[in-house]
Structure 1
């Protein structure tokens, strides 16, 4: 029996005309975005005008705001299920279950990272509302990316997300590594954004519009008389920009240094919410906006998937720093997600969109929890030290529950059965097999075996090696304990009982 039993009507579908977009704005449909932006402004303004808040209140406020936005997204999901998808703000944003799934994933990342960051920031110059406000702003930008129905709007969301990430990566003013990671991310991210913006310009020149629905109609109406050369050049530049944001090889070169130098909770947020937003944008642009060119860009996605799987798996196993290990592991996971994107490419623009889109979104949600839990353990164990593998020696004797939770996350990332990671990897591989991408599916399975050695190294270090008797005691803050415990429980429960999430992901619709 298929783990991803596919619902036939999961394709890009035309928006219903429930809302007169030219004359009215449906504010409740925008409520998750409004809550995030309003909450960020509230944190900054009230935090600046009042004395320092009691311990944990900044993090609680950030988590409450993001949680409220996530709940509103669930309410909107129910409305979309009843009445169908639509477009908002004169066609600038898509109001569909694809956007709501991305919103829930990103808001969940904010909640977990806020809990991790609370104790991590105490006693530092950043112990204030600014970091949490930046998390909320980045989340709003990521949701705009995943919801955008216009390339210009998508670019605005991308820049909002990116600028917040640049500041967050360099936010530890006591660390030269943090400043270096922020500078590297800013310089390389600026180049990637330039590629993406130039790609938008070329696609606009070829189609006459930046609106995704109008782009599809323009290409369909012109037949073979259009300027395909201009469009293909624009698509290539768009893929370069998006490839950087998802950390797909060979555009991954920023990830190891930035992940290592940035504060660990920030790294967790970039690896989870950043990927969810970037892959959401990639599906919007390629699957919804450019299905007529799928025969041209699908081989590029295939190559990026293979490179990401191979490079991420092989380079991860030769690292000594655990944050760099997880950075290259993130590249490998990007390769797995690209397997799902490549599967979706085969059916782009068709009535039955296959299993690709649902498998990608399910992977992003499950990976979000796993990777935040993983970096949460790293933040607790190696807060004031370099996250070298030796720091984790003997962790099972010092903190057996913490070592057990990290073991669960590592097994899930390896794709071991009865964990959520197995469900995620099985889903994208099954999606690839369903469209006869056997070669890519085989490469993905082989790379999973290679990457398993990486996770085994860390587990052996925790359970088999003796730790330093003079090492400082490990203190687990309450917020971090709750976040890590929830992530571990979710990873196991989702692996044992995946049917609810699978059924939910099967209901994803992508408006065009």
Structure 2
């Protein structure tokens, strides 16, 4: 394979890397009073170019590059597109929210782009060491973005907690890789499956897989590895929270799918019960924790823990339909969650004037656009029909039920009912007329960047809820491409 053809398999990452480097080089040359927002628009254009490159990869035959450590197929392209869309909306929200002369704003744009590079590498890597490198690129960028408002004490605390606990989880992930290498003699995901399929499974391989699950469990904020999430979300800037609550999770879930279904199908009897428990705990702890919150971002943090649980339900299905349901749910959750943080970011501003649920009282009167968008995303998070949230949960629970996961499905349905309470509480506040007339002052006018972000997220949530056929076909093709190389797929599930 020629070098140029191999380069096409990592072209989206190359485009974003070049864009990030250029932003970092240009930003110091600008005067203190010069707006950094044009750098944000340059980043937006680079993400559009990366999206085009990702779609172009669909026309290529599935294959590997660079000695087999990168694989381009329908699965990797699906998550490349998802990550690029999340970063695109996050950039638009940042452009809308941040002041034109915000200190080091160009660095924030560059960090978002560099983070996307790491996440994309994770989704296409078939070598555990490359997964680790991509994970570190993504994580380091996110740690810095979480503490970007350096003069804000909560932001600094958020970044420090996220960094310390994230480093601890990364150590588990890396040590798990070391144990797997000791047990199988390789860190190649496909080769691991071959090694485990021809001999008795070494104990070190099982322990190594458990450690990898701990590391990735932290990245997706699944219980009991979720303790960092509320504090990190509360302190980080809202546009960054919209990004870190979706894109890194999508990448980590893609890695988890590739590891458990491709590298360790022979160990399904070990990892399926663990994921079952993680899913049940995440849904329950997330929703019960959200019930107690008055701070909107902390409420949405616990909500994200619960949604990680819903997505893990699909993992336990042990079928192509389960993989497709997980991929579809990742996209629907990203659309509605990034959308709701776009509303929160604009309503509260860069300094986040609105933090409590009561602060959003009368939002619909002050801005019908923001109130309507907030209500729409909330009913999608609840799972009302004709929204992406409804079909996402429907396909997840259906795949689990068809695989015999009756009790897990019941737990999920009960938790969905609990979640409706705290989502409706915020919705009721937004549509309640405030007693203080001063709170009826109109919101700042929506910028073009915000309008574009809302168009993308609202359209995506509607399409996923009304005409999901095309996205379902893409997610099914992604699942088939992931499992097509598995020689001994896991048998049907019987654990309930």
TM-score band, normalised by the shorter chain?
A: over 0.9
Asked whether the equivalents of residues 37 and 100 of structure 2 are also in contact (C-alpha less than 8 Å), the reply is no
**Which among 163, 170, 180 is matched to residue 140 of structure 2?**
163
**Which among 467, 474, 483 is matched to residue 443 of structure 2?**
474
Write the distance in 2 (CA, Å) between the matches of 1:263 and 1:468: 28
Report the TM-score, using the length of structure 2 for normalisation. 0.93
Pick closer, same or farther for the CA change 1:126–1:484 going to 2, 3 Å. Answer: farther
Write the distance in 2 (CA, Å) between the matches of 1:148 and 1:467: 55
Deviation for aligned residue 1:182: 0.3
1:395 aligns with 2:363: yes
1:81-115 deviation per Cα after TM superposition (whole angstroms, max 9, x unaligned): xx3x2122111112111111111011001110111
1:443-458 matches, within 5 Å, as 443-458=411-426
1:105-120 matches, within 5 Å, as 105-120=82-97
1:431-510 matches, within 5 Å, as 431-466=399-434, 468-471=436-439, 473-475=442-444, 476-508=446-478, 509-510=481-482
Write the distance in 2 (CA, Å) between the matches of 1:493 and 1:354: 23
Pick closer, same or farther for the CA change 1:55–1:201 going to 2, 3 Å. Answer: closer
Pick closer, same or farther for the CA change 1:41–1:24 going to 2, 3 Å. Answer: closer
1:126-165 matches, within 5 Å, as 126=103, 128-165=105-142
Write the distance in 2 (CA, Å) between the matches of 1:488 and 1:24: 38
Write the distance in 2 (CA, Å) between the matches of 1:234 and 1:428: 28
1:415 aligns with 2:415: no
1:291-325 deviation per Cα after TM superposition (whole angstroms, max 9, x unaligned): 11111111000000000010111111110001111
Counterpart residue number, 1:69: 50
1:232 aligns with 2:206: yes
Deviation for aligned residue 1:242: 0.4
Deviation for aligned residue 1:232: 1.2
Counterpart residue number, 1:210: 187
Write the distance in 1 (CA, Å) between the matches of 2:105 and 2:387: 36
* RMSD, aligned CA: 1.7
1:271 aligns with 2:272: no
Deviation for aligned residue 1:286: 1.3
Asked whether the equivalents of residues 32 and 73 of structure 1 are also in contact (C-alpha less than 8 Å), the reply is yes
Write the distance in 2 (CA, Å) between the matches of 1:416 and 1:467: 30
Pick closer, same or farther for the CA change 1:264–1:124 going to 2, 3 Å. Answer: farther
Q: Which runs of 4+ in 1 moved over 6 A?
A: none
1:231-254 deviation per Cα after TM superposition (whole angstroms, max 9, x unaligned): 111111111000000000110110
Counterpart residue number, 2:150: 173
Instruction: State the secondary structure of the residue aligned to 1:104.
Output: helix
Instruction: State the secondary structure of the residue aligned to 2:64.
Output: strand
Instruction: State the secondary structure of the residue aligned to 1:173.
Output: coil
Write the distance in 2 (CA, Å) between the matches of 1:129 and 1:62: 10
Which structure has more relative contact order (CA 8 Å, sep 6+)? It is 1
Asked whether the equivalents of residues 74 and 474 of structure 2 are also in contact (C-alpha less than 8 Å), the reply is no
Write the distance in 2 (CA, Å) between the matches of 1:182 and 1:41: 23
Counterpart residue number, 1:334: 308
Deviation for aligned residue 1:402: 1.0
Pick closer, same or farther for the CA change 1:493–1:134 going to 2, 3 Å. Answer: same
**Which among 205, 217, 237 is matched to residue 243 of structure 1?**
217
Counterpart residue number, 1:5: none
Deviation for aligned residue 1:25: 6.0
Deviation for aligned residue 1:127: 5.1
Deviation for aligned residue 1:120: 2.0
1:228-283 deviation per Cα after TM superposition (whole angstroms, max 9, x unaligned): x1111111111100000000011011011001100000000001111111101111
Counterpart residue number, 2:343: 377
What is the total number of aligned residue pairs between the two structures? 477
Deviation for aligned residue 1:42: 1.3
Instruction: State the secondary structure of the residue aligned to 1:78.
Output: coil
Write the distance in 1 (CA, Å) between the matches of 2:308 and 2:138: 19
- Runs of 5+ consecutive residues of structure 1 not aligned to the other structure: 1-18, 347-352
Write the distance in 2 (CA, Å) between the matches of 1:393 and 1:266: 24
Instruction: State the secondary structure of the residue aligned to 1:27.
Output: helix
Asked whether the equivalents of residues 249 and 304 of structure 1 are also in contact (C-alpha less than 8 Å), the reply is yes
Counterpart residue number, 1:428: 396
- Runs of 5+ consecutive residues of structure 2 not aligned to the other structure: 486-496
Write the distance in 2 (CA, Å) between the matches of 1:451 and 1:371: 14
Query: Is the deviation greater in 401-410 or in 123-132?
Result: 123-132
Write the distance in 1 (CA, Å) between the matches of 2:435 and 2:10: 51
Counterpart residue number, 2:29: 49
**Which among 272, 281, 290 is matched to residue 255 of structure 2?**
281
Asked whether the equivalents of residues 336 and 377 of structure 2 are also in contact (C-alpha less than 8 Å), the reply is yes
**Which among 193, 196, 206 is matched to residue 170 of structure 2?**
193
Asked whether the equivalents of residues 382 and 391 of structure 1 are also in contact (C-alpha less than 8 Å), the reply is no
Write the distance in 2 (CA, Å) between the matches of 1:247 and 1:339: 15
Write the distance in 2 (CA, Å) between the matches of 1:451 and 1:394: 22
Deviation for aligned residue 1:122: 1.3
Deviation for aligned residue 1:336: 0.7
Deviation for aligned residue 1:63: 1.1
Asked whether the equivalents of residues 144 and 159 of structure 2 are also in contact (C-alpha less than 8 Å), the reply is yes
Asked whether the equivalents of residues 172 and 215 of structure 2 are also in contact (C-alpha less than 8 Å), the reply is yes
Asked whether the equivalents of residues 395 and 467 of structure 1 are also in contact (C-alpha less than 8 Å), the reply is no
Write the distance in 1 (CA, Å) between the matches of 2:151 and 2:21: 26
Write the distance in 1 (CA, Å) between the matches of 2:104 and 2:418: 40
